[in-house]
Chains A and B, each alone.
Chain A
Amino acid sequence: MGRLPGSWAELVKAVDAWVEERIDLTGIRDLIRHKVVPVHRHSIWYYFGGMTLFLFIIQVCTGILLLLYYRPSAEQAFESVQFIMTEVQFGWLIRSIHSWSANLMIATLMIHLFSVYFTRAYRKPRELTWISGMLLFGIALTFGFSGYLLPWNTLAYFATKVGTDVAGQVPVVGHLMTRILRGGEDVTGATLSRFYGIHVAVLPLLTTGILSLHLFLVQKQGMSVPPEIERDGRPIPTMPFVPDFLLRDLVGWLSALAVLGALAAYFPWELGVKADPFAPAPAGIRPEWYFMYMFQTLKYLPSKIGPIDGEVVGVLGFGLGGLFLFLVPFLDRKTAQGEKSPLFFWIGAGIVTYIVVLSVLGYVAPGGK
């Protein structure tokens, strides 16, 4: 043991040496030193995965803080959130950041998903990364759906009712699914308990496993380069991950943090009115924006298409759409063979257009069919 460290840099070096004497971190060191990120005209999209991760970490931190005061029962949930918003010091900040960050995270997640899709990053050898990513997407939506109910206000209560009703449209197992989701026939305190358990235990556990896999694969395989740039033949410039790319990542993350703060201060998340199951559903119930396109589609479908219920057709349609995306690495033969794949480009463009148009319609179309 030498003299005491006199500066931050010396302190870091000392700790580093102490750890190195005990654990061989050569693998990680090499990764950090040698990881590079390709630089080309589509590099901007590389930032969105990390941004989503950053926002997820914010969710975990604010979520844990909220856990300390939130009470998951029908009698107390609303009042406990009200307590957090009004009595707990900076509770308003933690809660508003949690709600806004959830939405921001799903937005960046969707950008990440579609940027990966259009740059065909799912092709060999990254099929597993894509699969794990799609699973994470499903988990994120479930996080959003389950978390939405927790304040137990009117909007949340009825949105959950409608949402779990839609799940019931799945043929054969629909009713059972709805009962399992709701913890009974109707949306009650049992539903709240269930959603709470899913939101703070089940999903975090699943995420830990699948996210670790996803991140490990990304580190091991490096960043994918879009096919047309590869086909170019020219050597692709790169930048080191540490510190170049990481510093730029940080700029993005800090900007997101500033945006979240501004949103929390100027557009605090609404509390609403405590849910009353006996009151009639208010006009204008709608889900969060990331479910809006599905909600609006169901509104437009006729009540019967041939012998089948319109809603069933809709739900099956969503299922098939999800399955298509899930299996795209295996369906996109042309890309797998190294050729251009305009069909899949147009399918992707179609899906994005559909989502955007239906979401916009959900907000501007005159209410109700």
Chain B
Amino acid sequence: METLASSRRGFVNWLLGTGFGAMAVWMLYPVIRYLIPPKSGEPSVANVTVPWKPAEIKANSGRIFRFGSQPGILVKTPAGELRAFTAVCTHLNCTVQYREEKQDIWCACHNGVYDLNGKNVSGPPPRPLEPYKVYVKGDEIVVSKGA
């Protein structure tokens, strides 16, 4: 017959063993999940790859894309050159858009107009649109802030 002391000792040992065992599993699980790479692969960076191929974009057109936490505008000039600017209007921060019929960039909020160099040409905007760098790597268009 086990004495009370030895059964108590057995219980304590069991408790310790189970405790450490559970801790080991509980801590190992997150570490192993961490080591398995996530589906999205890599961080999206200050270089943004826009979700369109160069051929998809018609000349004399523009589209809005996400750059970090702000909208950007990707433009293909009538001559076929790809350019990108911030799409945040320098007047009161509305999102600008491309105007096919005037071949310029326009802000609907208060009729601000920018040319295809981003320069503010008429209406309230006080400053030009900040330009981004555009790189074409094969079928990918990469826009970066460019330091």
Contact = CB atoms under 8 A, between A and B. Distances in A.
Judge: A and B partners, yes or no. yes
Interface of A: 8, 65, 68, 71, 74-76, 79-80, 82-83, 87-91, 93-94, 254, 274
Contacts of A8: 17
A76 B48 CA distance: 12
23 contacts: A8-B17, A65-B31, A65-B35, A68-B35, A71-B43, A74-B147, A75-B47, A75-B147, A76-B43, A76-B46, A79-B44, A79-B45, A79-B46, A80-B43, A83-B40, A83-B42, A87-B40, A90-B30, A90-B31, A90-B34, A91-B34, A93-B30, A274-B46
B45 A65 contact: no
Interface size class of B (residues with CB under 8 A): 10 to 19
B33 interface: yes
A75 B34 contact: no
B45 to A, nearest CB: 5
Interface string B22-42: 010000001101111010101
B72 to A, nearest CB: 16
Given A65-B31, A89-B33, A75 B45 contact: yes
A54 B62 CA distance: 57
A33 B58 CA distance: 81
A83 B31 contact: no
Contacts of A76: 43, 45-46
A88 B45 contact: no
B46 A89 contact: no
A65 B34 contact: yes
A75 B35 contact: no
Interface in B65-116: 68
A89 B43 CA distance: 14
B44 A90 contact: no
Contacts of B38: 87-89
Contact of B34 (A79, A80, A89): A89
A74 B47 CA distance: 12
Interface in B100-141: none
List the 10 shortest-distance A-B pairs measured between CB atoms, nearest first. Answer: A83-B43, A90-B30, A89-B33, A79-B43, A87-B38, A90-B34, A79-B45, A80-B43, A75-B46, A87-B40
A274 B68 CA distance: 10
Nearest to B34: A90
B128 to A, nearest CB: 16
A93 B33 CA distance: 12
Nearest to A89: B33
A94 B34 contact: yes
A83 B40 CA distance: 9
Nearest to A65: B34
B12 to A, nearest CB: 11
Contact of B36 (A65, A83, A89, A93): A89
A71 to B, nearest CB: 7
A8 B68 CA distance: 54
A369 B61 CA distance: 54
A90 B37 CA distance: 11
Contact of A88 (B34, B68, B147): B34
A234 B44 CA distance: 68
A6 to B, nearest CB: 16
Given A87-B38, A89-B36, A82 B43 contact: yes
A87 B33 CA distance: 12
Contacts of A79: 43-46
Contacts of A93: 30
B106 to A, nearest CB: 28
Nearest to A91: B34
Contacts of B43: 71, 76, 79-80, 82-83, 87
Given A65-B31, A68-B35, A83-B42, 5 more contacts: A75-B147, A76-B45, A76-B46, A80-B43, A87-B40
